[in-house]
Amino acid sequence: MDYNPGFDITVDDRNMTFKYGRNTFGPEPEYRRLKDIRKSLMDPAAKGPDVLYSIAMDVGRSKDRDDLKRRMLLYGAVIYAKGKIGREPVRSQGHIHAISPSSDSSTPEVYEIWDGEAIVYMQETAHDDPGRCFAVHAKRGDIVIVPPAWAHCTINADIHHTMTFGAWCIRDYSFDYKEIRAHKGLAFYPIVGHADQITWQRNDHYRKSGLQEQGPRSCRDFNLQKGVPVYKQYVDNRNLFDFVTEPMNHNDLWRNYQP
């Protein structure tokens, strides 16, 4: 991995783990397996890698740890395996951020792609009518923001390579899977098509909705800078990600949000 995420962490994608520098903290990763996401797949019996991704929640510079805890801010690092799950690329099952006790709100998430290619798929709701649906294609250094209460999943867009990203979220996060599982997944399934390009198949358990595919938006309204690691942006401005931990104080950012 050539990308510098802003602190001393090394990605060991062969073993799906991370190595931390002397002044960096982080846990042993947790592993998400194929059996964990079957209820949200187009084909629940599909074959694929056993370990789909590894995730290390709460990583960063040792000198920042107390400040991150005080702010209820959490940084996570994730490695996605290469390959396919049946006709689908490796992906997460999808979830909604549940109400956080500290903020009394569903909360957003800020993705930064470190290596490989990702699609961050998101839809306004997991109700029968999913509302607006977006597939945001992102590459190394791109930032993607998922707003509060939106259903979303992360997809490895290149089946031949692993994909790695970091993400800001709230410390007391939790996930709501109920409606997504009830609808057998999200409103669109990603399919590996001709020349290994990602196409989409509608999930008939939802009402019909359009899907907009696009690249990442500008994040200037969030005062985020393109080309600067989001962890470094936090170091330079400790209040910058208050919109993650206090989303209700930033309703102007979420009103009519356009990914």
- Statement: the pTM of the whole predicted model exceeds 0.95: yes
| Any domain includes 42 | yes
Please give the residue range of the domain that contains residue 222.
9-251
**Ranges in the chain, pLDDT < 50:** none
Q: In the prediction, which pLDDT does 2 show?
A: 79
Q: What does the pLDDT read at residue 171? A: 98
Residue 214 is predicted with a pLDDT of: 98
In a domain, 258, yes or no: no
Give a yes or no: residue 241 inside a domain: yes
Domain membership of residue 256 (yes or no) is: no
**Which two tokens mark 227?**
């080309």
CA angle 175, 117, 172 (to 5 degrees): 20
What total of structural domains would you count in the chain? 1
**Is 87 a member of any domain?**
yes
- Check which CATH number belongs to the domain holding 218 and give it: 2.60.120.10
Q: Do residues 58 and 99 make contact, with C-beta atoms less than 8 angstroms apart?
A: no
Give strand pairing partners of 135.
121, 213
Residue 121: inside a domain: yes
Residue 180 lies in a domain: yes
Residue 95 placed within a domain: yes
Q: pLDDT digit string (tens) for 186-213?
A: 999 999 999 999 999 999 999 999 999 9
DSSP state of 209: -
Confidence (pLDDT) at 238:
98
Q: What is the pLDDT of residues 56-79, one digit of tens each?
A: 999 999 999 999 999 999 999 999
